[in-house]
A and B are shown apart, each in its own frame.
Chain A
Amino acid sequence: MSEGPLVLIVDDELQIRRFLRISLEANGYQVHETNSGQDAIVKTAQLRPDLIILDIGLPDIDGLEVLKRLREWTKTPVIMLSVRDSDRDKVAALDAGADDYLTKPFSVEELMARLRVAQRHNQPQIEEAVFTAGDVQVDMARRLVTKKDVPVKLTPTEYGLLRLLIQHAGKVLTHHQILKEVWGPEYVNETHYLRVYFAQLRQKLEDDPTLPKIILTEPGVGYRLIGDE
C-alpha cells in the first residue's frame, strides 16, 4: 500500500478541518488534525508529517509563534492560512520561514497547487538545468534566456532576480527575501527596486506585460514565479 504524504492540519475551526481533510484525502494525502498550537508542535515531533497547514489565528499560541518554534528544529514545509487583512502577518510568516500562504476563502485547486510546490521544494532534488514557463526557457547552466527560441538579453540584476525566482518556482518570495538575496541585507526596504526590475523583466518575458502570467505579484507580500509543472 503506497501511502501518500502525511499532512498535519492545524486549525481551530472544525468545518475548515473537515473540508481540508476531505479534499486532501481525495487527492491521496494522509491527514492528521489538531486544533491547538501546543499540540501541533507535539504532533509534528511524533508523526514527522511531510507538510503542515497552519492557521495564523489559533486559540492557544499564535500561529506565527508555532511556526517559529517549529523552525527551530524542522524544515517541514509549512503553509499558513490567513485572512485578507493580515498582509503583515503573511509577510512575517514568510520571513519566519513559512513556505507559502493561502488567504481564506480559498479554493481546493489553489491549496493543491501550493502543497505540490511546497512538497517539491522539500525534496532533495537535482537542480533542473532548464526551466520552462510557456514559451520562455531559461538554461541555467549556460545562463541563456530565450523567448520563443529567441535569446533575451537580461542585465545581471535581472538575471539574478530571475534565477532566484526559478530556484523557488511556484513559491512566493517576500520583498525582503528577494532584496536581501539579490541586493544584500542593507537594501531590504528598497521595494521600489523590485517595482522597476520586475517591470523590466515582464517587458522582456511576458506576452502581455500588463497581464503577467509568469511573474505574478502577490499584493503587499512579494512575487511568485509560475513555471510549467
Chain B
Amino acid sequence: MEDYRPDPDELLAAIQKDEARQQRAKLKIFFGMVAGVGKTYTMLNAARQLQSEGVDVVVGYVETHKRAETEALLDGLEIIPRQKLEYRGTILEEMDIDAILARQPKLVLVDELAHTNAPGARHIKRYQDVIELLEAGIDVYTTVNVQHFESRADAVSQITGITIHETVPDSVLDMANEIELIDLSPDDLRKRLAEGKVYVPDRIETAANNFFRTGNLTALREMALRLTAEHVDHKLQDYMQVKRIAGPWKSGERLMVAIGVSPFSEKLIRWTRRVAYNLEAPWLVAYIETSRTLSAEDKERLAQNLALARNLGSEIVISAGDDIDEALIRLARQRNVTQIVVGKPQSSRWQRFLRGGSLVDKLIHASGNIDIYVVTGDEPEQTKPRLPLPRTVQHSSWRQYLWAIIIVAIITAIDLLAFNYFEFLEYEVVGLTELFAVLLIAIYIGRGPALLAAAVSAISWNFLFITPRFTFEISRLQDLILFGLYFVIAIFTGNLTARVRTQERQARYNADRTMALYTLAHETATAVNMEDVLGTGVAQIEHVFDAQVAIILLQSDGRLGREAHNCSTLQVDEKDFSVATWVFEHGKPAGRFTDTLPLATAQFLPLLTPNRTVGVMAIRTRQNERLSFDQEAMLETFTYQIALVIEREMLDEAAEQSAMLRESERLYTTLLNSISHELRTPIATIAGAASSLANPQTSANGEVRAELTRDIQDAADRLNRLVENLLDMSRLDAGRLKLKLDWCNVGEVIGVAVKRLEKCLSKRPLSIQYAPNLPLVQMDFVLMEQVIVNLLDNICNYTPPASPVEIRADMDEKSLVIAITDAGKGIPPEEMERIFEKFYRVPGTATGGTGLGLSICRGLVEAHGGSLTVENVPNGGARFMIRLPANATAPPVKEASL
C-alpha cells in the first residue's frame, strides 16, 4: 500500500491543475499536422452540433480561406464583427476581444491559435486573447497545426527547411481540456490540395512542391500523432494521481538549462522543455550574469530567450558571477538539479585555452553527481525583433584600444627622451615603466586593450631600447630572456588586473543594488503614511532606474483608482488608464516592451502581494528604452517591496477604521442606553405631573399643584441640559466647533456662569477670589462660561447641599488658572482620568447625569489650547483646574472722546 501513495505535493499539484482546468472555461483544440486537413471544417461542424443542442455559440474569428464547404458551415452562426486596426496606412482586421467579452457567449470559435495580431491589438498573440477569454469564463474552440508549438518549431524547421515565426507556447496545449486530432493521410491531403480544397488555385503549385511534399507530410503527421499521444498520456497520469491509482510516477529528475544571449539558446530551451515534458520533470532556465557589458541587441535577444522560457512554463533563475561554471553548479546544488543542459561550445580551441578550458570541460569537472547534457545546434538565422525597438549606441571598444596605444606611445616617447638625456638610464628601467603603463591600462580600460598594450610595448621596447637598438634583433641571451619574461608578465598582470577590476566592479554593482533595495526597504518601513511610502518608493525607483513613475492605487471599493497618486512623476492619460486597468484585473505586466498592449507609452506593472493586487505602477525610463534583464528583476523586487508596504498601509488604515467603527459603535450603544434613561425619566415626570394636573381632584389642592408644576419645571430643565450637552458633544465630535476668541475678563465669565446657576448656588457659601490685576485673556466667552457652568452644575448635583464652593482665578506664569473647589467626597484616585471619558460615570454616583459634562468641558478647554485637570484637596473635596494659555496681552484700551 505504502508504495502506491503519491507524493502529497504532486497530488496537490495534480488536483490544482484539475481544478484550474475545471474553473477556467473549457478549451478544445482542433489539432492538425498541417494546413488543409480540415480543422476549421471540423470545428465548425462541432459548433453547429452544439448550437443545435441550444448552446450559445458565436464565431470570434474564423478564416475560411475561401473554401466553399467551410464557408457554407458559417451560415447560421453568429459572427462577432472584427475589429479594424489601422497600422501604417493599412486597415488590418483582428478578432474583437472586447466585443466577445461584452457578448459573453458560452462558446466562442477562434481559428488559427498561433496567429500574430496586428500592432495596436491588445495582445501580440492570439493565444493570449484566448487565455483571456478562458479566464473570463468563455469556452473556446480553436485550431492549430503542430508546427506552431514552441517545442516543435525547430524540429519542423529542420525537417521542412522553413522557419516558423508564429508559435504557441506548449503550456497552451496543457491548458486544453480536449484535443481532437484531425488526421489525414499524406496522400489524401495532396489529393485535396490538388482539388483546390486547401489553397486557391494560383498557390497550389508552390505549396505542393514545397511544404506539401509527401516526406514532409509524413514527418509532420508523426509529430502531430506523437504530440497528441503525449498529451493524452499526461492527462492519464494526472488522472491516476488524483484517483490514487499506482502508476509510473514522475522520475524525480530536475533539469536546468544554462542559456546566454546567443540565438542558439532558443534551441536549448526548446530541447530542455521537450525532454523535461517527457520526463515529467520540473525544469528551470538559468542565466548567469557576468561583468561583460551586453549590447542592446544582446539584451533584446536575452529578453526574448527568457520570454520564450517563461512561455514554455519554465522557472527562471538569474545569478551573477564571472565564473559561469561555478555559478551554474552552485545554482544546481541549491535547486536540487539532477541534469544540466548546456550548448556545445562554439569557441575555438585557442579561445578555450586562454579561458582555462571550455565551460563544458569545467562543468563536467565540477559537476559531481549531476549529469551534463551537451546539445548541439546549428546557428539559426537571426530572428528579427517583432517591433522596432530603440537601441542604445554602445561606445565602441575600438576607442579603448586606440587609447591603449596612445598611452603606450606617450610613455614610450617620454622614455625615449629620458633615455637619450640621462646617461645612467638602462633599458631595463624603461621596460618597467612600460609594464606600469600596461597595468594602468588593465585597471582603467580593460583586458583586451591591456593585452594589446602588452604586445605593442614589448615590440617597441625591443625595437627602440634593447641593443642593438632600432632593430628587432636581440643579441644577448639575457636580453632575450628579459624580453620573453616581459611579454609573459605584461600579459599575465594585464589579465589579472583586469579581472580583479571587473570583479570589483561587479561587487560594487551588487553592493549598489543591495544598497538600493535596502534603502527602499528601510525608508518605506519607516514611512508613517501612504503619502510617505509612495513618495519614497517613487523617488527610489526614479533614482535607481532614471525613470518617471506613476502609481495608481486600489480604491476602497475594490477597483483601481481613476487617477494617479499625486506622488507620481509620470503623466498618465486616459489610454494609459485602460492599460493600467487591464494590468490590475489580470495581475500581469503590460504596456511597452511586453506582449500585451505594447503600443502604450509606458510599462505597467501590477503591484502584487501574496494576497491581491494593490495597484499598478507605470514606469518610463528617461531614455525610453527597455530595462536590462537584471534591472527588470530588480524592478520586480522593488515593486514587490512597494506593494507590500502599500498593503501594510492599507491594512493599517482598514484596522484604524474598524477600530474607529468599533469605538463609535460602543459609544453609540452607551449613548443610546444613557440617553434613553436620561430622556425617559424627565419625560415620565412631565407626563405624570401633567396627568395629575389634569385630574380635577388632585389639582384642587393648591399645594399639590405647586409641587407638580415645580416637578415639571425641574424635569424640563433637566431635559434642556441634556439636549444642550448632546449638542455640545456632537459639535465637539464633528470638529465643527469654531472658537470665537475675544479678549475676556475672566471675572465676568465666572459671574455670568454663577448667575446662571443662582438657584442652586445661592444656598451654598460661595467664595469667589480673583488675583489682583488679572489681564484680559483670549477665549470664547460663551463656551468658557459653559465649561464653568458644567463644573458648577456637577457640584450642585454631586456634593452635599449647602457645602461650600470656592472659585479662584490666578495667573501662573503664562497661563490663567481657574480653580473650582468643592467640599464633596472628592474623586477616587483611580477614577481621576476616567471621569473625563465620554459617558463614564463614577460607579455609585446619583442618577441624573449623562457622563458627558466633564468630557465636554475638557474638549472645550483643550480647544482653547488649555487643559482641564482634577485633584483632591486635603480635607475632602475635589478641585478642578482650568488652565488657559495667556501668552499674549490685550491691545491697549482707549478712552472715548465724548
Known A155-B895, A160-B898; judge A219-B752 contact (CB<8 A): yes
Q: Whole-angstrom distance between the alpha carbons of A14 and B752 in the complex?
A: 32
Residue of B nearest to A87 (CB): B782
**Cross-chain contact of A217 among B740, B748, B894, B896 (Cβ < 8 A):** B748
1/0 per residue A60-98: CB within 8 Å of B?
000000000000000000000000110100000000000
CB distance B776 to A211 under 8 Å? no
Residues of A contacting B785 with CB < 8 Å?
219
Q: Whole-angstrom distance between the alpha carbons of A192 and B781 in the complex?
A: 12
Interface positions, chain B 286-312, Cβ under 8 Å from A, are none
CB distance B743 to A192 under 8 Å? yes
Verify if B570 is at the interface (C-beta below 8 Å from A): no
1/0 per residue A164-206: CB within 8 Å of B?
0000000000000000001110010011110111110000000
Verify if A156 is at the interface (C-beta below 8 Å from B): yes
Interface positions, chain B 781-799, Cβ under 8 Å from A, are 781-782, 785
Q: A227: shortest Cβ distance to chain B, in Å?
A: 17
Residues of B contacting A124 with CB < 8 Å?
none
1/0 per residue B702-727: CB within 8 Å of A?
00000000000000100010001001
Residues of B contacting A161 with CB < 8 Å?
896
CB distance B891 to A192 under 8 Å? yes
Q: B503: shortest Cβ distance to chain A, in Å?
A: 78
Residue of B nearest to A88 (CB): B740
Verify if A210 is at the interface (C-beta below 8 Å from B): yes
25 A/B residue pairs, CB under 8 Å, sorted by A: A84-B724, A85-B727, A87-B782, A156-B898, A159-B898, A184-B897, A190-B891, A191-B742, A192-B893, A193-B893, A195-B743, A195-B776, A196-B745, A196-B776, A196-B893, A198-B745, A198-B748, A199-B747, A199-B748, A210-B750, A211-B751, A217-B748, A217-B752, A219-B782, A220-B740
Known A191-B743, A192-B743; judge A211-B898 contact (CB<8 A): no
**Cross-chain contact of A210 among B740, B743, B768, B895 (Cβ < 8 A):** B768
Q: Measuring CB to CB, which residues of chain B are less than 8 angstroms from any residue of chain A?
A: 716, 720, 724, 727, 740, 742-745, 747-748, 750-752, 754-755, 768, 770, 776, 781-782, 785, 890-891, 893-898
Q: Whole-angstrom distance between the alpha carbons of A210 and B895 in the complex?
A: 24
Task: Count contacts between A and B, CB distance < 8 Å.
Answer: 75
Q: Whole-angstrom distance between the alpha carbons of A184 and B898 in the complex?
A: 10
CB distance A192 to B752 under 8 Å? no
The 5 tightest CB contacts between A and B, nearest first, are A192-B743, A220-B782, A210-B768, A157-B896, A195-B745
CB distance B727 to A160 under 8 Å? no
Q: Measuring CB to CB, which residues of chain A are less than 8 angstroms from any residue of chain B?
A: 84-85, 87, 105, 155-157, 159-161, 182-184, 187, 190-193, 195-199, 209-212, 216-217, 219-220
Q: Whole-angstrom distance between the alpha carbons of A178 and B747 in the complex?
A: 20
Residues of A contacting B897 with CB < 8 Å?
183-184
CB distance B754 to A211 under 8 Å? yes
Residues of B contacting A212 with CB < 8 Å?
751
Residues of B contacting A87 with CB < 8 Å?
740, 782
Q: Whole-angstrom distance between the alpha carbons of A196 and B890 in the complex?
A: 10
Q: B160: shortest Cβ distance to chain A, in Å?
A: 91
CB distance A210 to B776 under 8 Å? no
CB distance A105 to B716 under 8 Å? yes
Q: Whole-angstrom distance between the alpha carbons of A84 and B785 in the complex?
A: 13
CB distance A192 to B727 under 8 Å? no
Residues of A contacting B890 with CB < 8 Å?
192
CB distance B898 to A193 under 8 Å? no
Q: B26: shortest Cβ distance to chain A, in Å?
A: 67
Q: Whole-angstrom distance between the alpha carbons of A155 and B770 in the complex?
A: 24
Residues of B contacting A187 with CB < 8 Å?
894
Residues of B contacting A85 with CB < 8 Å?
727
CB distance B768 to A211 under 8 Å? yes
Q: Whole-angstrom distance between the alpha carbons of A187 and B898 in the complex?
A: 14
CB distance A160 to B893 under 8 Å? no
Q: Whole-angstrom distance between the alpha carbons of A209 and B746 in the complex?
A: 12
Q: Whole-angstrom distance between the alpha carbons of A227 and B755 in the complex?
A: 17
CB distance B893 to A197 under 8 Å? yes
Known A191-B742, A195-B748, A197-B893; judge A157-B898 contact (CB<8 A): yes
Residues of B contacting A211 with CB < 8 Å?
751, 754-755, 768
Residues of B contacting A183 with CB < 8 Å?
894, 896-897
Which of B891, B895, B896 is most buried by chain A, counting CB atoms within 10 A of its CB?
Answer: B896
Q: B738: shortest Cβ distance to chain A, in Å?
A: 11
Q: Whole-angstrom distance between the alpha carbons of A44 and B677 in the complex?
A: 45
CB distance B894 to A209 under 8 Å? no
Residues of A contacting B891 with CB < 8 Å?
190, 192
Q: A203: shortest Cβ distance to chain B, in Å?
A: 10
Residues of A contacting B896 with CB < 8 Å?
156-157, 160-161, 182-184
Residues of A contacting B748 with CB < 8 Å?
195, 198-199, 217
Residues of B contacting A209 with CB < 8 Å?
747
CB distance A182 to B716 under 8 Å? no
Q: Whole-angstrom distance between the alpha carbons of A187 and B743 in the complex?
A: 15
CB distance B750 to A192 under 8 Å? no
Residue of B nearest to A182 (CB): B896
Residue of A nearest to B766 (CB): A211
Residues of A contacting B895 with CB < 8 Å?
155-157
Q: A226: shortest Cβ distance to chain B, in Å?
A: 12
Residues of A contacting B754 with CB < 8 Å?
210-211
Q: Whole-angstrom distance between the alpha carbons of A105 and B744 in the complex?
A: 27
Residues of B contacting A159 with CB < 8 Å?
898
CB distance B782 to A193 under 8 Å? no
Q: Whole-angstrom distance between the alpha carbons of A87 and B740 in the complex?
A: 11
Residues of B contacting A182 with CB < 8 Å?
896, 898
Residues of B contacting A84 with CB < 8 Å?
724
Q: Whole-angstrom distance between the alpha carbons of A183 and B893 in the complex?
A: 11
Q: Whole-angstrom distance between the alpha carbons of A217 and B750 in the complex?
A: 11
CB distance B751 to A192 under 8 Å? no
CB distance A210 to B781 under 8 Å? no
Known A105-B720, A210-B750, A211-B751; judge A193-B742 contact (CB<8 A): no
Residues of B contacting A157 with CB < 8 Å?
895-896, 898
Residues of B contacting A217 with CB < 8 Å?
748, 751-752
Residue of B nearest to A210 (CB): B768
Residues of B contacting A105 with CB < 8 Å?
716, 720
Q: Whole-angstrom distance between the alpha carbons of A209 and B724 in the complex?
A: 29
